[in-house]
Amino acid sequence: MSKDKQDIQELLTLKSIAETLNECNDLKEMLQTVLKELIQVMRLQCGWIFFVHPKEGYSLIADYQLPPALTWENKKPMCEGGCWCLERYRDGRLQRAANVIECKRLEKAIEEQWGDTNGVTHHASIPLRAGDEKFGVLNVAAPHKISFSNKELALLEAVAYQIGTAIKRIKLAENEQKLALIAERNRLARDLHDSVSQLLFSLQLTARGAKEMTEDETIKDMFAYIQQLAQEALQEMRTLIWQLRPHGLEHGLANAFQHYGDMLGLKVNVDINGLVDLPNEVEECLWRVGQEALSNCKKHAGVSEVDIAIHAQKHHVHMKVRDEGCGFSKADGHPFSLGLNSMKERVASLNGEIHIESSVGEGTTIDVIIPLKKERG
């Protein structure tokens, strides 16, 4: 292929990459597609993208045609341990597209005999960023290629800037969707409070008034039953509104649990230590699981007091909900299996664990452990 045709092909591929970055809204799909196109247009062999989390840890978010030595045991060499490109990224030395002398991961793969490297020993590393915000590292390589020309590095850097801008766009769109969901929950909560809750409250008052207007004991009992049902429905409605719009969560989990306990008629003792600024999804998961646990205590445990302990450590957060109620026998199954399934699903979505221990007459303990984001990656 002549140089002019090659330049035209590169421009067309870069145009295709730009269109993909502009149109795609799925982060992993976008990075996988762009990585493949970039490797092909530059006539390289393989490439991979690391997302680097703000404090510690990283995740392999995209890869293309990795040699067998790096795909050993479900890409274990790419998902564990450190390497020189990540060290340079973290300490600030990797500011532009750069040649990396050798790949530490490939060196270890050769030493441990994990498979063929297909002649790949070196790679170029390019930081992914948008303005001052950094996201990760793009690495590309080819067999027996130990350096990249200035033109190649300039091309890689141009694509990396486009990728960084697209990542920023997708993250902003995701945040906008989360805010829209919160706004919709708040709107629904307001509508339920202003309409259904008021109707139930009016029904309760009407039943009480009608009960006082008759001397017939049978009719009195019927109105009393209607009043009781309206009261229970109103309580369920308030619980639902809290689930949609957790008043007090903006002031922290302890405040939210105590306010929710007040609404249920429970005294909630909250003990928090080692707490850091938890990710939103972790905090909401703990909140929803705690809500369900407190509701079950009110309905099934026969207690007026519940203890909640939350302990955040470097790699995970641990929450324990304990009551001294009637408990239950595992042989008889859980009396709140539907709620338990909901808890399990929430915790599992964050790669966490949940354990429930209970015995008749000895109360119930719910243990939840959720890894922090860098560990989930």
What are 112-124's pLDDT values in tens digits? Answer: 989 999 999 889 9
Q: Kind and range of the H or E element at 13?
A: helix 3-23
192 located within any domain: no
> How does DSSP classify residue 265?
T
265 closest CA partner among 241, 301, 289: 301
Tell me if 186 is assigned to some domain.
Answer: no
Q: How far is CA 150 from CA 30, 101, 122, 155, in A?
A: 26, 15, 16, 9
pLDDT one-digit tens code per residue, 123-160: 999 999 998 889 999 999 999 998 888 888 888 998 99
**144 and 266, same domain (yes or no):** no
Q: Under 8 Å CB-to-CB from 363, ≥6 apart: which residues?
A: 301, 303, 322, 323, 324, 325, 326, 327
Among the candidates 136, 157, 175, a domain finishes at 175
- Domain extent at residue 298: 252-377
What is the C-alpha separation between 94 and 104, in angstroms, rounded? 16
Give me the CATH number covering residue 322.
3.30.565.10
Please tell me the total count of domains within the chain.
2
Residue 140 phi, psi (nearest 5):
-135, 150
pLDDT at res. 280? 75
Q: Note whether residue 339 is domain-resident.
A: yes
Q: pLDDT digit string (tens) for 230-244?
A: 888 877 776 666 566
Are residues 27 and 151 located together in one domain of the fold?
A: yes
Identify the sign of the CA torsion 68, 43, 84, 31: negative
Boundary residue ending a domain (145, 175, 205): 175
Q: Pairing between strand 353-358 and 364-371?
A: antiparallel
Same domain, 127 and 257: no
CATH number of the domain encompassing residue 39? 3.30.450.40
d(CA 51, CA 138): 9
Residue 342 pLDDT > 80: no
What's the CA gap between 317 and 367, in Å, rounded?
11
> Does some domain include residue 303?
yes
Whole-structure pTM value: 0.56
Both 138 and 286 in a single domain? no
What's the rounded Cα separation, in Å, for the pair 34 and 20? 7
Indicate whether 114 belongs to any domain. yes
Q: How far is CA 87 from CA 91, 93, 334, in A?
A: 6, 8, 49
